[in-house]
Amino acid sequence: MTENINKRLNLKGVSCPLNFVKTKLKLEEMQDKQILEVILDDGEPMKNVPRSIKEEGHKIIKVEKLPDGGFKLLIKKGGRKDG
Amino acid sequence: MADKFIEDKKNKVKVDTTIEGKTGEIDFNTLKSGGLIKQRQKDMFTVRLRCPGGRVPLSKLEKILEVAKKYASAYVHLSFRQSIELPYVDYRNFKAIYAELEKKGQKVASCGPRLRVPTACSGCEYNPNGLMDTQKMVKLVDEKYFGMEFAHKFKISFSGCPIDCARTNENDLGFQGAVKPDWNEETCIGCRICSKACTEGAIESDVETGKPIYNPEKCLYCGDCIRACPTDSWQEEMKGWVVRVGGRHGRHPIAGHKIAEFVSDQDVPRFIEIITKWYKENGVGYGRTRIGTILQIPAKWDSFVKTLRKELKDKIIESPKPPSKNEIHFE
């Protein structure tokens, strides 16, 4: 399944909570159901950011482990509303 | 200058304040039972207010401020058990203070060998980590059990989650919120987020599929996996209170240990009633002794566990541990 990615955000080297703030701001610019691709470092960012995204009502639809140890997340804006 | 306190005592002056149904004579113990603590300074007392769970409605706070300005000092003190204390109060003003505070329903606490004001964190209502409603339980305990008399003091606390801010292992009886997670393989997308969210190492991800391998031995039942899972594949299987008994701080602290887990809100009063009844019966003959010290006597511990099992059956864990010394002065 290939997703149509609307925006991209590379948050490598960006620590908590700035990484989440940037994700949130980017999502605010977007339309409902659009897809944002975010690249996060392993460790604290992967521990905190996905949970905060979920709490804001967005849906993480795909997570891919990258060869350098980071993670690529696809987030559907407001995706948790439609179950 | 004559000592008003000694003179009043000699003249049998009454404090003229009703404390637990008795009109207080000038007697340290009676005063203490009503949350009045004698200060170093002559005639001066600290009035300890009753603020269960550290929650003070603004209407009461305004009244407290008004009373403090009129009868106490330029500051209030927050006690270690979350209650507001008004220092430098002249005992002759007790009656007026009680009457003023009562207008907004603000009560005065209790000291001495009694069940104290219960403490708690903010709980699940707005704290994101909160699993159980600590404030609801604190209200119940305060209304139902506050002031019960024992051989020594008896402290109860509630923590909403395993972070345990209310230090349930340092209280005579502590309740800490916990949630048991359950995983649904069908909806899991193998994203690995749960294994990242779990700080205890209780969830690892399969190298190939990314799906979780759950090790309950390491699980604290905090619910981080449930909150983090993007597909809701981790769900709540069971929620309730972990119960710890026999803890205390002070000169010779004791650590209380778990006796039950996933206890429902409805069962909390049963635990309190059974444990306090046991303490009432078994705390006799040891002087001012906390339940944790009595529970360290092997025969008493056996009797305690037997009583709990008889009354609470399988709610009691398989091999509970008696309270243990947590010595800080003679290590």
Query: What are the structural domain ranges in chain A?
Result: 7-76
Q: Looking at residue B97, what is its pLDDT?
A: 92
Best of A54, A66, A71, A74 to mutate (most B CBs within 10 Å, chain B): A54
- Whether B200 and chain A come into contact, CB under 8 Å, resolves to no
Task: For CA atoms B260, B265, B267, B273, give the dihedral sign.
Answer: positive
Q: How many CA atoms lie within 13 A of B222 on its CB side?
A: 19
Confidence of residue B5 (pLDDT cuts 50, 70, 90): low
Nearest CA in chain B to A47: B197
Q: Looking at residue B34, what is its pLDDT?
A: 73
List, for residues B114-159, the tens digit of each pLDDT value. Answer: 999 999 999 888 888 899 999 999 999 999 999 999 999 999 999 9
Q: Taking residues B161-189, what's their average pLDDT?
A: 97
Q: Is pLDDT of B2 > 70?
A: no
CB pairs under 8 A between A and B: 40
B230 → closest Cβ in A46, A60, A71: A60
Q: Looking at residue B23, what is its pLDDT?
A: 52
Q: Looking at residue B21, what is its pLDDT?
A: 47
Q: How many CA atoms lie within 13 A of B229 on its CB side?
A: 23
Q: Is pLDDT of A1 > 80?
A: no
Alpha-carbon distance A11 to nearest alpha carbon in chain B (angstroms)? 17
Which residues lie closer than 8 Å to B237 by C-beta, 6 or more apart?
A: B180, B181, B182
CB–CB contact A62 B128 (8 Å) = no
Q: Looking at residue B75, what is its pLDDT?
A: 97
B196 → closest Cβ in A46, A53, A61: A46
Q: Is pLDDT of B17 > 70?
A: no
Pairing of strands B84-90, B119-120: unpaired
Give CATH for domain B119-179+239-325.
3.30.413.10
Which CATH fold topology does A7-76 show?
Translation Initiation Factor IF3 (3.30.110)
Cis upstream peptide for A17 (omega within 30°): yes
Burial annotation A47-65 (CB, 10 A radius, 16+ → b, else e): bbbbbbbbebebbbbbbee
Q: Looking at residue B112, what is its pLDDT?
A: 83
CB–CB contact A51 B224 (8 Å) = yes
SS3 label, residue B301 = helix
Measured CA to CA, the distance from residue B164 to residue B158 in angstroms comes to 8
Could you give the C-alpha distances from B60 to A20, B30, B64, B72, B79, in angstroms and in order?
A: 39, 25, 6, 16, 17
Q: Looking at residue B245, what is its pLDDT?
A: 98
Confidence of residue B33 (pLDDT cuts 50, 70, 90): low
Q: Looking at residue B326, what is its pLDDT?
A: 94
The answer to whether domain B13-102 has CATH 3.30.450.20 is: no
Alpha-carbon distance A50 to nearest alpha carbon in chain B (angstroms)? 6
CB–CB contact A51 B210 (8 Å) = no
Alpha-carbon distance A64 to nearest alpha carbon in chain B (angstroms)? 7
Average pLDDT, rounded, for chain B:
91
Distance of CA A20 to the CA centre of its chain: 8
Distance of CA B219 to the CA centre of its chain: 24
Element (H, E) at B113: none
Q: Taking residues A6-34, what's their average pLDDT?
A: 96
Q: Looking at residue B95, what is its pLDDT?
A: 84
Take residue B215 and report the two structure tokens written for it.
């090790």
Which residues lie closer than 8 Å to A65 by C-beta, 6 or more apart?
A: A71, B192, B210
Q: Looking at residue B9, what is its pLDDT?
A: 67
Q: Taking residues B239-250, what's their average pLDDT?
A: 97
Bridge-partner residues for B45, per DSSP? Answer: B38, B89
Q: Is pLDDT of B31 > 60?
A: yes
Where along chain B do its domains lie? 13-102, 119-179+239-325, 185-232
List, for residues B188-227, the tens digit of each pLDDT value. Answer: 999 999 999 999 999 999 999 999 999 999 999 999 999 9
Confidence of residue B42 (pLDDT cuts 50, 70, 90): confident
DSSP B84: E
End-to-end CA distance of chain A: 19
The answer to whether domain B185-232 has CATH 2.40.110.10 is: no
SS3 label, residue B238 = strand
Nearest CA in chain B to A45: B196
CB–CB contact B227 A65 (8 Å) = no
A50 → closest Cβ in B128, B189, B193: B193
Alpha-carbon distance A56 to nearest alpha carbon in chain B (angstroms)? 12
List, for residues B74-116, the tens digit of each pLDDT value. Answer: 999 999 999 999 999 988 888 889 899 999 999 999 888 899 9
Q: Is pLDDT of B302 > 60?
A: yes
Q: How many CA atoms lie within 13 A of B160 on its CB side?
A: 18
Take residue B111 and report the two structure tokens written for it.
């000291």
B196 → closest Cβ in A47, A55, A62: A47
Active site residues of A: 16
**Nearest by Cα to B86 from B250, B98, B154:** B98
Take residue B70 and report the two structure tokens written for it.
């009129």
Task: For CA atoms B302, B304, B309, B314, give the dihedral sign.
Answer: negative
Best of B126, B188, B191 to mutate (most A CBs within 10 Å, chain A): B191
pTM for the model: 0.89
A50 → closest Cβ in B199, B210, B228: B228
- Whether B196 and chain A come into contact, CB under 8 Å, resolves to yes
Q: Looking at residue B32, what is its pLDDT?
A: 61
Distance of CA B91 to the CA centre of its chain: 29
Confidence of residue A79 (pLDDT cuts 50, 70, 90): confident
Measured CA to CA, the distance from residue B155 to residue B248 in angstroms comes to 8
Residues of A with Cβ-Cβ distance to B201 under 8 angstroms? none
Alpha-carbon distance B238 to nearest alpha carbon in chain A (angstroms)? 21
End-to-end CA distance of chain B: 48
The ipTM assigned to this model is: 0.87
- Whether A63 and chain B come into contact, CB under 8 Å, resolves to yes
Q: Looking at residue B20, what is its pLDDT?
A: 46
- Whether B199 and chain A come into contact, CB under 8 Å, resolves to yes
| DSSP annotation string for A26-79 | HHHHSPTT-EEEEEE-TTHHHHHHHHHHHHTT-EEEEEEE-TTS-EEEEEETTT
